[in-house]
Amino acid sequence: MTSLPLVSVIIPCYNAENFVESAVRSIMEQTYSNLEIIVINDCSSDNTGEILKRLAEEDPRIKYIENEQNLKLPKTLNKGINLAKGDYIARMDSDDISLPVRLEKQVEFMLSNKNIDIVGCNMQHMDVYSRRLLYRSHMSTEHNDIIKKMAWKCELVHPSILAKRNFFIDLKGFNEEIAYAEDYELWIRAILLNKKFSNLDDVLLYYRIHCDQMSSNNLKHLAVIRGFLLQAFRKTKKIRYLLGFFIQTKAFFFIRNIVNLFRR
């Protein structure tokens, strides 16, 4: 497969010692082998760095990078993008699992659909014990459906995406000024630049759910998304973004009430 395009897979890692080896190995064991695997240790205080160094010694495709200071996710992702040499750039999180055929299917799709700039896939939830849960996503596969629904829900699973290198170059990477919903903000900017989206209908990612994910961080996440939607409405005057703002506002107050209930 060396004649096929090089794919750079960016895996930011922070205090992920319990899951990072299985996550990285799921990329090492992909059926698509022409890979550059960029693992970036964002100043972890656990054994994440040692695990990544050992894996890098095992597989020459792995490039181990260690941040001198904790840069957080958007800056770390942009660092990975700037280091990437691939024709395509793929994302992976340090606690998820990619199915073996994920990248092969995504590259095949992109080669057959030259008009598409970025492709994701469906995912199935798993818990901290790697037990698969009942929930699986049902993302839209067609560009027009994706951009319509993006006004009120995220129609791309961030760690599932593979995009053309120029997708990130044209957008100048992730917004480093925000701490939440950096992926959603990028998708909205991409829509405004007329980038083309798609999803494979297959479940090609196991997405790990942690018990602490239902927290006040959800409120911050929703607050940021509401801001993005208002900006998109001001720029485009498309009513779907305004409707999305009101939908997210309703969700914001619902979750806030739930969080406050558990704090009593």
Least confident of 38-52, 95-109, 197-211, 235-249: 235-249
Helices 72-83, 182-192: axis angle to 10 degrees equals 60
Task: Give 164's strand partners.
Answer: 88
**3-class DSSP state for residue 188?**
helix
| Contact indicator for 87, 164 with CB cutoff of 8 Å | yes
Q: What percent of the chain has pLDDT over 70?
A: 80
**Using the 8-state DSSP alphabet, how is residue 150 labeled?**
T
Residue 144: pLDDT above 70?
yes
Query: Which is nearest to 200 in space by CA: 228, 161, 170, 234?
Result: 161
Residue 213: pLDDT above 90?
no
Residue 261: pLDDT above 50?
no
| Dist. CA 71–CA 79, nearest whole Å | 10
Q: What are 51-103's pLDDT values in tens digits?
A: 999 999 999 999 999 999 999 999 999 999 999 999 999 999 999 999 999 99
| Dist. CA 10–CA 76, nearest whole Å | 9
DSSP string across 28-40:
HT-S---EEEEEE
The per-residue pLDDT for 254 is 43
Exposure of 231 in the CB half-sphere (CA atoms within 13 A): 13
Task: Give 118's strand partners.
Answer: 163, 197
| Contact indicator for 136, 125 with CB cutoff of 8 Å | yes
End-to-end CA distance of the chain: 58
